[in-house]
Amino acid sequence: QVQLVESGGGLVQPGGSLRLSCAASGFSLSLDYYAIGWFRQAPGKEREGVSCISSSDGSTSYAEPVKGRFTVSMDKAKNTVYLQMNSLKPEDTAVYYCATDPGTYGAGCYGSPTVVAFGNWGQGTQVTVSS
């Protein structure tokens, strides 16, 4: 059973940094070449794609608002994906989710990940950027 657990959220001042983790179980990033997407949902807004990393070819992609500030990475030995968030802004405040789907097997990451392509979601972690 595919499970994803996010952690690392919290309260941070504008300009600060956080690193989110997405621990995966029920599949192997080394053997199951799924893509892992990061998404966020702010109050009153739709869930939006933030970043994606492919365990197949290592490709990564980012949404325009986070390019140059966020970095996605993967530790296959720990079966964990990370999202390093720097230069955080108040508009980054949201619940952050990681997600995957067997349908992404062998796929690379290009452009912002789309919600409809991912069927297995974590519970989310709150990120609040405020002074």
pLDDT of amino acid 111:
85
Whole-number Å distance between alpha carbons of 58 and 94: 26
DSSP state for residue 112 in the 8-state scheme: S
Provide the token pair at 51. Answer: 């970043």
With 90 as the cut, is the pLDDT of residue 105 above it? no
pLDDT digits (tens, 9 = 90+) for 38-50: 999 999 999 999 9
pLDDT of amino acid 92:
98
pLDDT bracket for residue 52 (50, 70, 90):
very high
pLDDT of amino acid 103:
86
Share of the chain above pLDDT 70, in %: 100
Closest CA to 125 of 41, 31, 52: 41
pLDDT digits (tens, 9 = 90+) for 64-95: 999 999 999 999 999 999 999 999 999 999 99
pLDDT of amino acid 24:
97
pLDDT bracket for residue 33 (50, 70, 90):
confident
